[in-house]
Structures are given as structure tokens and as C-alpha cells.
Amino acid sequence: MRYLNIRAGFFHTVALLAIFASSVAYAKTDKPNILVIWGDDVGMYNISAYHRGMMGGSTPNIDRIANEGAIFTDAYAQQSCTAGRASFILGQHPFRTGLLTIGMPGAKEGISEKDPTIAELLKNHGYMSGQFGKNHLGDQDQHLPTAHGFDEFFGNLYHLNAEEEPESEFYPKDPEFHKKFGPRGVLHS
């Protein structure tokens, strides 16, 4: 369990949100691959492609991707990771979707089936998609990325603290509580 939490923490730090690849392996296509790297608590200048030597830290692999692709210098961030992810994946302000606050294990709230995702829209153009790392858009199976157009998901559904809570001496020991409100750990779907 501890190993998975450390792994989940790594995914949180890097928070590689989505990797989009062409729809047919090895097929010739003019469509570009789309890679989005989404990080929680990562300032713009923590990536050396942005700070250009003005600050410490080096991210050569991300720099290479930025140099070979596109780099965005103007952005707006939401107040929570859930709101930010919802805004990007759904293309709507979080007030429209209700995904404003951080979801917790056992919560019934999550991404709605009526809101199309970027994965569903790209699928219509022949793309396959995957989401890896923290999702934070709902705890129920109907909220999983694979229920909303992503072809694969490997990650966890909430922040690292939620994953570690059952290890606390103060966490309720009742198995029924854990079954209903406990974190689900790292999932692959």
C-alpha cells in the first residue's frame, strides 16, 4: 500500500494528465500527436523551458518536448486541481459543470455523462487517448476517464492525502466505512 502511495505521489508531482496518440498504431497519418503534461503545485518557472536559465532546476525531457512542439506562455489557472482539470477536459468553466471543489472518496459528485470531454471530441477525429496520474473528477465508476472517451486510465482518483488517510491511527477501523468512503488506490481501466 505504501509503495502505491509513493507511486501515486510521483504521479501527483508530474501529473501527466493525458497522452494522445494516433488512432492506428504504425499507420501513416498527418495528424499530430498531442501530449498534455498537467502538474499540481508546479509553478511555471519550475520548468526550465519557461525559466530559460533564470532559476534553478532543469527539466531537459520536458524542454525537448517544448522545443519540438508547442509551448504555451499565457494561461489561467483555476483555484483547485479539480476545477482546473474539469475546465480543461470539458472545455467549460467549472461553474457550469459543478466541478469546483476537490472530490473525496465515496462522493457521488463527478463528471457528468452529458458533458463531452476532449477525449470524446478527439476520438471523432481518429485519435486514441489515455489519462495517467491523478484524475480528481469523481470517485464512482461512472466518473472514470474510460467512461468518458479515454481509451485507457492508469492512476488514482484523488489527492495523495486521501490515499494516505487509512494509514492514520485516527482513521475509522470499521470495514463498512472503508468500503464506502475509503480511497480506491491506483486503478487501471
Q: Which of 12, 51, 81, 188 is catalytic?
A: 81
Q: How far apart are CA 145 and CA 158, in angstroms?
A: 13
Cell numbers describing residue 24: 492506428
Q: Which of 12, 51, 136, 143 is catalytic?
A: 136
Tell me how far CA of residue 188 lies from CA of 74, 130, 148, in angstroms: 33, 11, 15
51 is catalytic: no
Residue type at 68 in one-letter notation: E
For 88, residues 6+ apart whose C-beta sits below 8 A from its C-beta are 17, 36, 38, 118
143 is catalytic: no
**Backbone φ, ψ for residue 138 (5° rounding):** 135, 150
Residue type at 21 in one-letter notation: A
* Catalytic residue list: 81, 136
